[in-house]
């Protein structure tokens, strides 16, 4: 379980256990978000997300792809600095690399230069002004295989590149209580974490520069760090909701719609589920029943089961509690029918097998087809296999990919993580005021493109 800790130069360390979440990683570092557009549509702020596909190879063959979705933000003025970020419902802060970070891991990303922004105000985590040369609070965020250490700045963040290009003439922003008033609907002021140290693992795998957290306020050190909470408070959006659509092929564009939903991406009415344990900060809902091919799995049965799922836009995984992962994997694997005429690169589209379904409290059922919960992998053959079996070694087949997850209370132990496998099938809407999540069937372009999915269990970071 990771630990967020804030260290004050004049006080003892104060720790914040901000629970656990999986953030997906991409491995190609050369790709930048050249197609991340922003526009205002019917009062909604719409950010186009780029999908980065990273090949997964085995024996020099590409067997599948890992995926990551991210868009651009701009910070500061009069020279707005661009950063590509994952819009992550499982994180609570905006985190970007700082120019003060000299580690090689930071230098492969765009870094925030404090000197280029006349709007920046150095602060401690509680908003107290930090004067030049004065010791500062620091935050350390542990990610399981690595960590980030950073400082804080009060800054202006915009979703559009040209939204804020000049500093107000009456700038009196260099104190702890007065900041420039913003006219642009897509800009807001908030506290940002500037990473001054980033360990090589796992952060060298990031293709994007940082993270923009969309979690509830319980995931942030203070409300002033929370992007969507500050957006709602500012009154800059039409409705206190945002919707997420993940594309299913290269002819579509993924997007996040802030301030309302995009009706073009969802069919039928939304079904709403209340957020469970909202004080923990996660967009999580209760699971009433799990079924495989219509047959109930006992794990979530009973009034006291407390099965829940975190809906996570920052991961491409389907994570399953350790107690039940073997049972689900074995049962699902036994129903799969592999295509003997499988062509490399076809993904798991059309894979025959049992559906995996989750019934929510209100009766809505989230269903994953075999092609949703399965990933390509290379078939392994034992050393004592027959000559005929050895000839088949390296054949690509589809298997269920369920990542084991073991967390203590209050978040665990019966917690699932719903990432890309669910988010591609369902348009999800996050209601800040009513603390609920809406589900509707996504509308995708019908084509014959293969599904871009990852093979095996990718390296992940726990946030």
- For residue 64, the model assigns a pLDDT of 57
DSSP category for residue 69: E
pLDDT tens track for 89-101: 988 899 999 999 9
Percentage of the chain beyond pLDDT 90 is 55
Which contiguous run of DSSP H or E holds residue 324? helix 322-335
Q: Where in the chain is the domain with CATH 2.40.70.10?
A: 4-244, 264-462
Checking DSSP bridges between strand 22-24 and strand 14-16, what pairing results, if any?
unpaired
CA atoms within 13 Å, Cβ hemisphere of 132 = 4
| 199 vs 422, more confident | 422
Assigned CATH class of 264-462? mainly beta
CA nearest neighbour of 144 among 247, 20, 242: 20
Question: Residues 167, 48, 422, 96: is their CA dihedral positive or negative?
Answer: negative
CA angle 259, 436, 223 (to 5 degrees): 65
In whole angstroms, what is the distance from residue 235 CA to residue 223 CA?
15
Residue bearing the bigger pLDDT, 363 or 8:
363
Per-residue pLDDT tens digits for 378-388: 776 555 556 55
Looking at the predicted structure, is the pLDDT value of residue 448 above 80?
no
Predicted local confidence at residue 163, as pLDDT: 65
Task: Pick the more confident residue, 402 or 175.
Answer: 402
Among 185-199, 245-259, 301-315, 357-371, the least confident range: 301-315
Assess whether pLDDT exceeds 60 at residue 404.
yes
Task: Return the pLDDT at 68.
Answer: 77
- For 305, how many CA atoms within 13 A lie in the half-sphere containing its CB? 22
Whether the link from the prior residue into 78 is cis, omega within 30° of 0, is: yes
Task: State whether CATH 3.10.450.50 applies to domain 4-244.
Answer: no
- The mean pLDDT value for 437-458 works out to 59
pLDDT single digits (tens) 125-145: 999 999 988 999 998 876 545
- Cis preceding-peptide flag for 413 (omega within 30 of 0): yes
Q: Which of 96-105, 207-216, 320-329, 386-395 comes out lowest in average pLDDT?
A: 386-395
Above 90 in pLDDT, residue 286? yes
Peptide bond into 114 cis (omega under 30): no
Q: In the predicted model, is pLDDT for residue 62 greater than 90? A: no
Q: Which residue has the tokens 């590149």?
A: 161
The residue whose two tokens read 């009456």 is 170
Residue 244 above 80 pLDDT?
yes
Beta-strand (E) ranges in 169-294?
Answer: 187-198, 210-213, 241-245, 254-258, 266-274, 284-292
C-alpha R_g of the chain: 23
How many other CB atoms sit within 10 Å of the CB of residue 3?
A: 12
CB 256 within 8 A of CB 47: yes
- The answer on pLDDT for 25 being more than 50 is no
**Mean predicted confidence (pLDDT) in 143-156:** 83
Contact 415, 406 (CB under 8 A): no
Mean pLDDT of the chain: 81
Q: Give the percent of the chain with pLDDT over 70.
A: 74
Residue 425 forms beta bridges with which residues? Answer: none
Alpha-carbon distance 196 to 358, whole Å? 42
Q: How much is the pLDDT for 108?
A: 92
CA 8 to chain centre: 29
Structure tokens at 353: 């097998």
Question: Which range, of 62-71, 157-166, 175-184, 437-446, averages the lowest pLDDT?
Answer: 175-184
Is there a contact between 322 and 98 (Cβ–Cβ < 8 Å)? Answer: no
Do 59 and 22 form a contact (C-beta atoms < 8 A)? no
The larger pLDDT score, comparing residue 390 to residue 420, is at: 420
pLDDT above 60 (res 454): no
What is the rounded CA–CA span in Å between residue 92 and residue 227?
A: 8
Q: What's the rounded Cα separation, in Å, for the pair 429 and 423?
A: 11
Q: pLDDT at residue 276 above 70?
A: yes
Residue 305 confidence class, pLDDT cut points 50, 70, 90: confident
- Do the Cβ atoms of 222 and 126 come closer than 8 Å? yes
Min mean pLDDT across 38-47, 108-117, 216-225, 337-346 is at: 337-346
What is the reported pLDDT for 178? 53
Tell me the mean pLDDT in the region 341-346.
Answer: 60
Q: How many Å apart are CA 13 and CA 125, to the nearest integer?
A: 12
> 43 and 58 in contact (C-beta within 8 Å)?
no
pLDDT, position 13: 36
Helices (H), 68-225: 104-107, 200-203
Residue 207 has pLDDT above 80, yes or no: no
Q: Given a cut of 90, is residue 67 above it in pLDDT?
A: no
Please, how many CA atoms are within 13 Å of residue 116, restricted to the half-sphere of its CB? 13
């Amino acid at each position: 379980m990771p630990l967020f800790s804030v260290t004050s130069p004049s006080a003892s360390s104060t720790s914040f256990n901000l629970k656990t979440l999986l953030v997906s990683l991409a491995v190609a570092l050369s790709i930048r978000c050249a197609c991340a557009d922003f526009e205002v549509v019917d009062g909604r702020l719409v950010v186009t997300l780029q999908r980065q596909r990273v090949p997964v190879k085995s024996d020099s063959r590409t067997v599948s792809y890992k995926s990551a979705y991210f868009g651009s933000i701009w910070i500061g003025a009069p020279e707005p600095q661009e950063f590509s970020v994952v819009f992550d419902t499982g994180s609570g802060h905006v985190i970007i690399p700082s120019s003060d970070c000299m580690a090689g891991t930071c230098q492969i990303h765009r870094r925030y230069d404090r000197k280029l922004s006349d709007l920046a105000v150095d602060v401690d985590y509680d908003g107290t002004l930090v004067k030049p040369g004065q010791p500062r609070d620091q935050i350390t965020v542990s990610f399981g295989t690595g960590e980030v250490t950073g400082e804080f700045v009060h800054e202006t963040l915009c979703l559009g590149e040209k939204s804020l290009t000049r500093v107000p003439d009456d700038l009196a922003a260099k104190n702890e209580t007065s900041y420039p008033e913003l006219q642009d609907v897509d800009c807001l002021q908030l506290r940002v974490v500037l990473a001054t140290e980033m360990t090589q693992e796992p952060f060298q795998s990031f293709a994007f520069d940082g993270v923009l957290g969309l979690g509830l306020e319980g995931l942030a050190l203070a409300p002033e760090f929370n992007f969507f909470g500050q957006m709602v408070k500012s009154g800059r959006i039409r409705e206190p909701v945002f919707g997420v659509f993940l594309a299913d092929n290269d002819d579509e564009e993924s997007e996040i719609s802030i301030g309302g939903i995009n009706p073009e991406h969802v069919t039928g009415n939304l079904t709403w589920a209340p957020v469970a344990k909202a004080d923990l900060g996660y967009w999580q809902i209760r699971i009433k029943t799990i079924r495989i091919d219509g047959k109930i799995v006992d794990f979530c049965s009973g009034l006291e089961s407390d099965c829940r799922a975190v809906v996570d836009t920052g991961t491409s995984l389907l994570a399953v509690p350790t107690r039940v992962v073997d049972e689900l994997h074995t049962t699902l694997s036994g129903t799969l029918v592999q295509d003997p005429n499988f062509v490399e690169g076809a993904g798991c589209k059309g894979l025959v097998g049992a559906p995996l379904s989750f019934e929510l409290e209100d009766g809505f059922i989230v269903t994953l087809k075999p092609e949703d919960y399965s990933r390509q992998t290379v078939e392994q053959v034992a050393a004592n296999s027959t000559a005929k079996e050895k000839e088949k070694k390296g054949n690509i087949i589809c298997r269920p990919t369920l990542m084991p997850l073991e967390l203590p209370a209050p978040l665990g132990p019966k917690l699932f993580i719903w990432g890309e496998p669910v988010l591609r099938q369902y348009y999800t809407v996050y209601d800040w005021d009513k603390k609920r999540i809406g589900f509707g069937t996504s509308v995708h372009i019908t084509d014959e493109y293969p599904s871009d999915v990852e093979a095996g269990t990718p390296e992940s970071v726990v946030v």
